[in-house]
């Protein structure tokens, strides 16, 4: 009898020790998983990345990377590189602009079934010209504010542990952006008082003109390295000649030569605008670019 109880008691101790040991192993394991279980967020290109880095700054267990290089520019006809594919394969969330600017999106959705593709432009009205969607919505600061709000909501849902950080980052960024909104409104009033019309060498400037009340007399899509046709030169020239005082909006990289040529012939003012598709990975990049854009438009207005 005595031996029997001793055996049961012994077994109970063995079970207790085993359970403790197993629980410890389990707890250590789940802790191990937790640190490995980083959420990897990838953005498609520059303006989405700058907005996301502001919202996600300082959040733990979540990383942010951009698909394309900071100097890639607009993604029209962009081909995914092997490095891009590797990055997407390891990503959990892909934040995109939409409107057709990421032409590779259907292939990505098919190739990476577990990747969550999220549109940061939900609720934004895209401008349609000639049945084509103009995807460059970030050039209207009011749209950009919606993007920041959307990124905060999306990330809070995906990663509720960091919700408070996302929300306080959003609030801080919104406050800085609000100064820019005030500047835009002042400039918009000046534009409507004086009147301003513009020939645009890039489609993205349509959004800037819309938000400032600038009358668009001509648009071409010179946002990548390509040959400008004689017809396009003639059309730009004619648009400027037909609209007395029209200003030419161009970027520094692709349109500046054409703008200079037309300006020499017509005497039109050239206004250099930053399309915010390339630059440094700095939190202030969007604000700095748009501040410079508003100054450029103001200067052209005063000429
Ligand atoms: Zn573009």
Answer with the one of 118, 150, 176 that is the final residue of a domain: 176
- 134 Cα–ligand 1 center, Å: 8
Same domain for 65 and 148? yes
- 179 Cα–ligand 1 center, Å: 26
Residue 227: is its pLDDT beyond 70? Answer: yes
- CA–CA gap between residue 203 and residue 224 (Å, rounded): 11
In a domain, 7, yes or no: no
Same domain for 51 and 154? yes
Same domain for 143 and 262? no
In a domain, 65, yes or no: yes
The predicted structure's pLDDT at residue 22: 58
Answer with the one of 118, 148, 176 that is the final residue of a domain: 176
- 205 Cα–ligand 1 center, Å: 10
Q: What is the mean pLDDT of the chain?
A: 91
Q: What is the DSSP letter of 124?
A: -
- CA–CA gap between residue 198 and residue 191 (Å, rounded): 12
Using one digit for the tens of pLDDT, what is the confidence trace for 179-218?
A: 999 999 999 999 999 999 999 999 999 999 999 999 999 9
In a domain, 232, yes or no: yes
- 100 Cα–ligand 1 center, Å: 10
Same domain for 215 and 162? no
- 70 Cα–ligand 1 center, Å: 15
Do the beta carbons of residue 250 and residue 201 sit within 8 Å?
Answer: yes
Same domain for 85 and 207? no
- CA distances (Å), 97 to each of 43, 46, 76, 243, in order? 9, 10, 12, 34
In a domain, 86, yes or no: yes
The predicted structure's pLDDT at residue 224: 87
The pTM is what? 0.86
Considering its fold, how many domains does the chain have in total?
A: 2
Using one digit for the tens of pLDDT, what is the confidence trace for 91-149?
A: 999 999 999 999 999 999 999 999 999 999 999 999 998 789 999 999 999 999 999 99
In a domain, 203, yes or no: yes
Same domain for 240 and 169? no
In a domain, 204, yes or no: yes
- 3 Cα–ligand 1 center, Å: 85
Q: CA nearest 64: which of 40, 96, 80? A: 40
In this prediction, residue 303 has a pLDDT band, given cuts at 50, 70 and 90, of confident
CATH code assigned at 128: 3.40.50.1980
- 37 Cα–ligand 1 center, Å: 35
Q: CA nearest 271: which of 286, 241, 251? A: 251
Same domain for 64 and 162? yes
Cα pseudo-dihedral 276, 74, 57, 293, rounded to 10:
0
* Cβ partners under 8 Å of residue 293, min gap 6: 208, 273, 274
In a domain, 83, yes or no: yes
In a domain, 88, yes or no: yes
Same domain for 268 and 154? no
In this prediction, residue 17 has a pLDDT band, given cuts at 50, 70 and 90, of low
Structural domain that includes position 159 = 39-176
In this prediction, residue 35 has a pLDDT band, given cuts at 50, 70 and 90, of very low
């Amino acid at each position: 009898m005595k031996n029997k109880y001793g055996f049961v008691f012994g077994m109970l101790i063995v079970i207790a020790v085993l359970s403790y040991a197993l629980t410890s192993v389990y707890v250590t394991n789940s802790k191990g998983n937790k640190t490995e279980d980083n959420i990897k967020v990838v953005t498609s290109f520059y303006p989405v990345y700058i907005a996301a880095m502001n919202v996600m700054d300082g959040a733990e267990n979540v990383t942010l990377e951009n698909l394309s290089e900071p100097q890639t520019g607009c993604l029209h006809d962009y081909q995914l590189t092997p490095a891009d594919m590797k990055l997407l394969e390891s990503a959990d969330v892909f934040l995109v602009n939409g409107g057709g600017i990421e032409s590779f999106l259907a292939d990505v959705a098919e190739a990476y079934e577990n990747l969550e593709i999220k549109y940061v432009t939900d609720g934004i009205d895209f401008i349609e010209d000639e049945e084509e969607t103009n995807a460059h919505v970030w050039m209207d600061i009011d749209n950009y504010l919606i993007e920041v709000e959307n990124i905060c909501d999306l990330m809070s849902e995906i990663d509720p542990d960091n919700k408070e950080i996302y929300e306080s980052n959003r609030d801080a960024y919104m406050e800085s952006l609000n100064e820019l909104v005030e500047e835009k409104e002042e400039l918009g009033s000046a534009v409507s008082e004086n009147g301003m019309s513009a020939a645009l060498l890039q489609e993205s400037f349509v959004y800037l003109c819309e938000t400032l009340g600038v009358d668009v007399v001509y648009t071409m899509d010179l946002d990548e390295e390509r040959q400008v046709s004689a017809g396009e030169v003639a059309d730009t020239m004619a648009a400027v000649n037909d609209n007395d005082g029209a200003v030419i909006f161009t970027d520094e990289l692709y349109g500046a030569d054409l703008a200079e040529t037309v300006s020499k012939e017509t005497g039109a003012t050239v206004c250099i605008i930053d399309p915010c598709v390339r630059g440094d990975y700095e939190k202030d990049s969007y604000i700095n670019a748009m501040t410079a854009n508003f100054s450029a438009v103001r200067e052209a207005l005063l000429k």
